[in-house]
Every structure is written in C-alpha cells, then in structure tokens.
Amino acid sequence: MRDASVVVVRDEHDLVTLLSAGFPAHGGAYLFLPRGRREESGSPLECACRGLREEAGVSAGHWTPLGSRAITLKSPAPVHLFEARGLTLAARELTATEQD
C-alpha cells in the first residue's frame, strides 16, 4: 500500500483553508484538506506539494512537517501531515478522474 500526504494550508491571517467538492452520489459537498498518494519515486513532501498544486491550484513557499501516522486499522500505510504557508497561485493539474 502506498502512503499519502495531507496538507494543512494556512493563509497570511493564520487561518486554515479547506477545499470543497461536490459528491452527489454521497449526499452533496464535502470539506477536505488537500492530499495525495505518494508516487513510487517521490518523497512525502513532493507528494504534498503535488497534491496542493493539483487540488487547490496553489504553491507554498514554506513547508513544515507535522508528523506521520497510520490513520486506519485496515491500512498500516502512513499518512504524512505537512503545514504549508507562503501561498502563491499556481495552475491546477487535475487528472482525468479528478476533473470537475
């Protein structure tokens, strides 16, 4: 199983930013943090950077690792948590399955 990275995004006012996406088959819109599964050759930080860029269209200038944990009993794969600050707009890079 591949591990994943999740990003806590803080703006210049120290507020946490959440993303919203519609999932009609599951009852509507959900709030979530940017995240992604790690590629075989990439680091957890590279995964976090890619997830933020792909899902939010944002890049961050400062990254802080917040730790790694297995979050479910069914999977021992760790989730790496990062804080991102110093945000700038970037082009979103959605895959075909992620298109709105």
> Does 19 or 97 have the greater pLDDT score?
19
pLDDT value at 97 more than 90: no
Residue 57, C-beta contacts closer than 8 angstroms, at least 6 positions apart: 89, 90, 91, 92
Q: Which two tokens stand for residue 60?
A: 């961050």
Q: Which two tokens stand for residue 35?
A: 């995240």
What confidence tens digit (pLDDT) does each residue in 43-89 have? 999 999 999 999 999 999 999 999 999 888 888 889 999 999 999 99
Domains of the chain: 4-92 (3.90.79.10)
Measured CA to CA, the distance from residue 52 to residue 33 in angstroms comes to 9
Task: Provide the β-strand partners of residue 28.
Answer: 23
Quick one: what percent of the chain has pLDDT higher than 90? Answer: 59
Q: What is the pTM of this model?
A: 0.82
